[in-house]
């Protein structure tokens, strides 16, 4: 009997690769997925470091250089106000990056996962309330929802931020665009949590009947521990896939909001605003780079997330491929 008991040292050395680690190994063997990761890395890195790498300021106007096609001093040309398109695209990436990640982290992950865990684990009327709320929110089409929320909530938030400015030493908040960030994040969160909540709930409903959860409960593991240490890690793979695929629609929603005029306000640059300014046929005929630059960046970001999600789906569910 005593011979079968392994020492702690032996157990540690016996440790195999984890689930995520193995999935990652399979992922980097896919050329397309690696390509997507590289593209996303380049785009996001240039968005993060825009302060250091952008050649001009985003509102710098050069009246001698209006509507220039791409050349050596303006890599992606200039727009109708003589501003450098390359710089503005980089700043637009930064805005999209911040907003979509904030939206996904708070809405999709924190709110959605918690809701899903609680509703799946406790069941009963808590489950009913959360699920019905999700049903009500999702019965309003996504674009309508973000349209309504951003239109009605924005002035309230502007008022609030002004009040904060007046009553504290903080200044330039409104001018700095914090209102836009707040409104867009709120709109993104409003629909972002439902998908993950439903997914996690479904997983939990199945997992909570399994024996290892019974075992954990019977040895007295506390409820938060059961939820976050035993249930959540087992639901992680579909969650990763959903979040990855959701990033594409988050980016789309953010661009839509700025495009329609309820998101980032000009002159501050965003991909949506740039696409609005250049989104007509006469621009395509005379200055195609104005649409090509922001359009292709937006396209590449959404495409890379979608393809990555597809690859991750294959990696995590080997059954279907």
**Binding footprint of another protein on the chain (CB under 8 A):** 32, 135-136, 138-141, 143-144, 147-149, 151-156, 248, 252, 255-256, 259-262, 272, 275-276, 279-281, 283-285, 291, 295, 298-299, 302-303, 306-307, 310, 320
Is there a contact between 258 and 92 (Cβ–Cβ < 8 Å)?
no
- Helix intervals (H) in the chain: 8-14, 19-27, 31-48, 50-53, 85-103, 112-122, 124-139, 142-167, 178-207, 211-218, 223-225, 236-260, 271-278, 281-286, 288-316
- Of 289, 288, 257, 286, nearest to 270 by C-alpha is 257
Cβ proximity to another protein, 177 vs 279, nearer residue: 279
Closest distance between another protein and the C-beta of residue 226, in Å? 29
Q: How far is CA 187 from CA 91, 132, 181, 266, 313, in A?
A: 21, 19, 10, 19, 27
Closest distance between another protein and the C-beta of residue 136, in Å? 5
Closest distance between another protein and the C-beta of residue 44, in Å? 17
Closest distance between another protein and the C-beta of residue 270, in Å? 13
Closest distance between another protein and the C-beta of residue 301, in Å? 9
Contacts of 218 (CB under 8 A, 6+ apart): none
Cβ proximity to another protein, 163 vs 299, nearer residue: 299
- Of 115, 113, 271, nearest to 184 by C-alpha is 271
Cβ proximity to another protein, 113 vs 193, nearer residue: 193
Closest distance between another protein and the C-beta of residue 152, in Å? 3
Name the DSSP letter for residue 262. S
Closest distance between another protein and the C-beta of residue 59, in Å? 23
- Of 261, 217, 244, 220, nearest to 304 by C-alpha is 244
Cβ proximity to another protein, 55 vs 141, nearer residue: 141
Query: Residue 67: exposed, middle, or buried by beta-carbon count in 10 A (0-12, 13-18, 19+)?
Result: middle
The residue with tokens 């609680």 is 118
Cβ proximity to another protein, 50 vs 307, nearer residue: 307
For the record, the structure tokens of 106 come out as: 């708070």
Cβ proximity to another protein, 111 vs 298, nearer residue: 298
Cβ proximity to another protein, 84 vs 310, nearer residue: 310
């Amino acid at each position: 009997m005593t011979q079968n008991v392994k020492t702690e040292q032996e157990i540690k050395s016996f440790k195999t690769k984890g689930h995520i680690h193995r999935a990652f190994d399979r992922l980097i063997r896919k050329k397309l997925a690696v390509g997507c990761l590289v593209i996303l890395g380049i785009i996001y890195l240039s968005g993060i470091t825009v302060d250091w790498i952008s050649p001009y300021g985003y509102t710098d106007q050069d009246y001698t250089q209006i509507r220039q096609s791409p050349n050596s001093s303006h890599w992606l040309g200039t727009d109708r106000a003589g501003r450098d398109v390359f710089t503005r695209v980089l700043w637009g990436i930064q805005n999209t990056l911040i907003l979509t990640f904030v939206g996904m982290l708070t809405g999709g992950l924190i709110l959605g996962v918690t809701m899903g865990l609680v509703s799946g684990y406790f069941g009963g009327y808590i489950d009913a309330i959360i699920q019905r709320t999700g049903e009500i929110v999702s019965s309003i089409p996504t674009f309508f929802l973000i349209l309504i929320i951003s239109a009605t909530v924005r002035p309230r938030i502007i008022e609030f931020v002004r009040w904060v400015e007046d009553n504290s030493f903080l200044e330039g908040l409104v001018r700095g665009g914090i209102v836009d960030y707040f409104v867009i994040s709120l709109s993104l969160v409003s629909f972002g949590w439902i998908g993950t909540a439903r997914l996690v709930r479904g997983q939990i409903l199945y997992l909570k009947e399994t024996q290892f959860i019974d075992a954990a409960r019977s040895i007295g593991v506390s409820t938060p521990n059961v939820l976050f240490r035993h249930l959540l890690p087992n639901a992680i793979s579909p969650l990763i896939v959903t979040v990855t695929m959701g990033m594409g629609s988050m980016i789309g929603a953010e661009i839509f909001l700025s495009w329609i005029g309820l998101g980032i306000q000009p002159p501050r640059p965003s991909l949506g605003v740039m696409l609005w300014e250049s989104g007509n046929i006469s621009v395509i005929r005379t200055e195609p780079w104005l649409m090509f630059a922001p359009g292709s960046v937006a396209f590449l970001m959404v495409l890379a997330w979608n393809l990555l999600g597809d690859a991750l789906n294959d990696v995590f569910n080997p059954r279907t491929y």
